[in-house]
Amino acid sequence: MLAPSEPLEIRKPETTWMLGSICLCLFVYGLLWTLFSFVLGMTDPAHQTRQMILSALFWMICVLATWKAAVPKSRWVAFFNVMFSVLIIGVVGTVVAYVTLMSHGVNMGGAVLLPFFFLTGALLVAQLILALPVAALFQWLVLRRSAPESAEP
Protein backbone atom coordinates (compact mmCIF):
# COMPACT_ATOMS: atom_id res chain seq x y z
CA MET A 1 0.00 0.00 0.00
CA LEU A 2 1.20 3.52 -0.75
CA ALA A 3 2.16 5.69 2.16
CA PRO A 4 0.20 8.92 2.47
CA SER A 5 2.12 11.87 1.09
CA GLU A 6 2.77 15.13 2.86
CA PRO A 7 0.13 17.79 2.33
CA LEU A 8 0.68 20.54 -0.22
CA GLU A 9 1.03 24.26 0.36
CA ILE A 10 1.43 27.31 -1.82
CA ARG A 11 5.07 28.32 -2.26
CA LYS A 12 6.28 31.37 -0.36
CA PRO A 13 6.32 34.29 -1.20
CA GLU A 14 2.89 33.51 -2.61
CA THR A 15 2.42 36.53 -4.88
CA THR A 16 5.82 36.13 -6.53
CA TRP A 17 5.29 32.43 -7.23
CA MET A 18 1.74 32.93 -8.43
CA LEU A 19 2.56 35.78 -10.83
CA GLY A 20 5.71 34.06 -12.08
CA SER A 21 3.82 30.82 -12.63
CA ILE A 22 1.03 32.59 -14.50
CA CYS A 23 3.51 34.38 -16.77
CA LEU A 24 5.54 31.26 -17.55
CA CYS A 25 2.46 29.07 -18.08
CA LEU A 26 0.78 31.68 -20.29
CA PHE A 27 3.94 31.81 -22.41
CA VAL A 28 4.04 28.01 -22.74
CA TYR A 29 0.31 27.81 -23.48
CA GLY A 30 0.57 30.59 -26.06
CA LEU A 31 3.49 28.85 -27.71
CA LEU A 32 1.55 25.57 -27.86
CA TRP A 33 -1.51 27.34 -29.34
CA THR A 34 0.62 29.14 -31.92
CA LEU A 35 2.16 25.87 -33.05
CA PHE A 36 -1.27 24.21 -33.06
CA SER A 37 -2.73 27.07 -35.13
CA PHE A 38 0.05 26.88 -37.70
CA VAL A 39 -0.15 23.09 -37.96
CA LEU A 40 -3.90 23.24 -38.62
CA GLY A 41 -3.51 26.21 -40.94
CA MET A 42 -6.00 28.35 -39.03
CA THR A 43 -6.73 31.79 -40.38
CA ASP A 44 -5.21 34.56 -38.25
CA PRO A 45 -3.29 32.36 -35.75
CA ALA A 46 -2.19 35.43 -33.76
CA HIS A 47 -5.81 36.35 -32.99
CA GLN A 48 -6.64 32.75 -32.08
CA THR A 49 -3.62 32.58 -29.78
CA ARG A 50 -4.56 35.85 -28.06
CA GLN A 51 -8.05 34.51 -27.38
CA MET A 52 -6.69 31.28 -25.92
CA ILE A 53 -4.14 33.11 -23.75
CA LEU A 54 -6.96 35.26 -22.36
CA SER A 55 -9.00 32.12 -21.72
CA ALA A 56 -5.99 30.53 -19.99
CA LEU A 57 -5.54 33.61 -17.82
CA PHE A 58 -9.14 33.23 -16.62
CA TRP A 59 -8.76 29.56 -15.70
CA MET A 60 -5.41 30.17 -14.00
CA ILE A 61 -6.95 32.89 -11.85
CA CYS A 62 -9.90 30.61 -11.02
CA VAL A 63 -7.54 27.81 -10.00
CA LEU A 64 -5.42 30.10 -7.84
CA ALA A 65 -8.56 31.39 -6.12
CA THR A 66 -9.69 27.84 -5.31
CA TRP A 67 -6.20 26.88 -4.13
CA LYS A 68 -6.08 29.94 -1.86
CA ALA A 69 -9.44 28.94 -0.39
CA ALA A 70 -8.44 25.29 0.10
CA VAL A 71 -5.07 23.88 -0.86
CA PRO A 72 -5.51 20.54 -2.70
CA LYS A 73 -4.64 17.39 -0.80
CA SER A 74 -2.52 15.91 -3.60
CA ARG A 75 -0.91 16.78 -6.91
CA TRP A 76 -3.55 14.71 -8.74
CA VAL A 77 -6.33 16.73 -7.16
CA ALA A 78 -4.49 19.93 -8.10
CA PHE A 79 -4.05 18.71 -11.67
CA PHE A 80 -7.73 17.85 -12.01
CA ASN A 81 -8.67 21.22 -10.48
CA VAL A 82 -6.80 22.87 -13.34
CA MET A 83 -8.35 20.63 -15.99
CA PHE A 84 -11.87 21.19 -14.61
CA SER A 85 -11.30 24.94 -14.71
CA VAL A 86 -10.12 24.66 -18.33
CA LEU A 87 -13.31 22.79 -19.17
CA ILE A 88 -15.60 25.27 -17.41
CA ILE A 89 -13.93 28.34 -18.95
CA GLY A 90 -13.97 26.65 -22.37
CA VAL A 91 -17.70 25.95 -22.13
CA VAL A 92 -18.37 29.51 -20.99
CA GLY A 93 -16.33 30.76 -23.97
CA THR A 94 -18.44 28.64 -26.32
CA VAL A 95 -21.65 30.07 -24.87
CA VAL A 96 -20.27 33.61 -25.19
CA ALA A 97 -19.33 32.97 -28.84
CA TYR A 98 -22.83 31.61 -29.53
CA VAL A 99 -24.54 34.60 -27.91
CA THR A 100 -22.22 37.00 -29.76
CA LEU A 101 -23.09 35.44 -33.11
CA MET A 102 -26.79 35.62 -32.33
CA SER A 103 -26.53 39.25 -31.23
CA HIS A 104 -24.86 40.08 -34.56
CA GLY A 105 -27.88 38.71 -36.37
CA VAL A 106 -26.44 35.38 -37.56
CA ASN A 107 -29.27 32.95 -38.25
CA MET A 108 -28.35 29.94 -36.10
CA GLY A 109 -30.41 27.43 -38.06
CA GLY A 110 -29.40 23.82 -38.55
CA ALA A 111 -27.03 24.67 -41.39
CA VAL A 112 -24.97 26.91 -39.09
CA LEU A 113 -25.62 25.41 -35.67
CA LEU A 114 -24.22 21.92 -36.32
CA PRO A 115 -20.89 23.12 -37.80
CA PHE A 116 -20.62 25.75 -35.03
CA PHE A 117 -20.94 23.18 -32.25
CA PHE A 118 -18.69 20.72 -34.06
CA LEU A 119 -15.96 23.36 -34.44
CA THR A 120 -16.29 24.71 -30.90
CA GLY A 121 -16.34 21.16 -29.53
CA ALA A 122 -13.13 20.35 -31.42
CA LEU A 123 -11.52 23.55 -30.11
CA LEU A 124 -12.59 22.68 -26.56
CA VAL A 125 -10.98 19.24 -26.87
CA ALA A 126 -7.84 20.91 -28.26
CA GLN A 127 -7.85 23.31 -25.29
CA LEU A 128 -8.02 20.39 -22.88
CA ILE A 129 -5.23 18.49 -24.65
CA LEU A 130 -2.93 21.50 -24.89
CA ALA A 131 -3.64 22.37 -21.25
CA LEU A 132 -2.34 18.99 -20.00
CA PRO A 133 1.35 19.95 -19.88
CA VAL A 134 0.53 23.47 -18.71
CA ALA A 135 -1.64 22.10 -15.89
CA ALA A 136 1.19 19.86 -14.72
CA LEU A 137 3.68 22.73 -14.89
CA PHE A 138 1.32 25.18 -13.18
CA GLN A 139 0.60 23.01 -10.15
CA TRP A 140 4.28 22.04 -9.92
CA LEU A 141 5.34 25.71 -9.84
CA VAL A 142 2.70 27.02 -7.45
CA LEU A 143 2.44 24.15 -4.98
CA ARG A 144 5.05 22.36 -2.92
CA ARG A 145 5.00 19.67 -0.30
CA SER A 146 4.81 21.13 3.18
CA ALA A 147 7.71 20.33 5.43
CA PRO A 148 6.85 17.80 8.11
CA GLU A 149 6.72 19.33 11.55
CA SER A 150 9.32 17.94 13.91
CA ALA A 151 8.00 16.38 17.06
CA GLU A 152 9.17 18.05 20.25
CA PRO A 153 10.44 15.62 22.94
Please say if the pLDDT value at position 59 is more than 60. Answer: yes
For residue 85, what are the domain limits? 12-145
Mean pLDDT confidence for 13-38: 95
**Which pLDDT band holds residue 3 (cuts at 50, 70, 90)?**
very low
Look at the chain and report how many structural domains it folds into. 1
7 domain residue, yes or no: no
Calpha distance 59→85 (Å, rounded): 5
Give the helix ranges, DSSP H, for the chain.
Answer: 14-40, 45-69, 75-103, 110-142
Q: What is the DSSP letter of 10?
A: E
The whole-number pLDDT of residue 148 equals: 64
Q: Is residue 2 part of a domain?
A: no
In-domain check, residue 56: yes
Q: Are 20 and 141 in contact (CB under 8 A)?
A: yes
The band of 146, judged by pLDDT with boundaries at 50, 70 and 90, is confident
Surface-to-core class of residue 95, CB atoms within 10 Å of its CB (0-12 exposed, 13-18 middle, 19+ buried): exposed
Predicted structure pTM score? 0.85
Q: Residue 34: inside a domain, yes or no? A: yes
Upper half-sphere CA count for residue 85 (Cβ side, 13 Å): 25
In degrees to the nearest 10, what's the CA dihedral of 94, 98, 100, 101? Answer: 130
Q: Mean pLDDT lowest for which of 13-22, 36-45, 108-117?
A: 108-117
> Domain for residue 29, yes or no?
yes
Residue 152 lies in a domain: no
Confidence check: pLDDT of 66 > 90: yes
In a domain, 23, yes or no: yes
Average pLDDT over the chain, rounded to an integer: 89
User: For residues 86 and 128, is the Cβ–Cβ distance under 8 A?
Assistant: yes
In-domain check, residue 109: yes
pLDDT (tens digit per residue) in 82-103 = 999 999 999 999 999 889 988 9
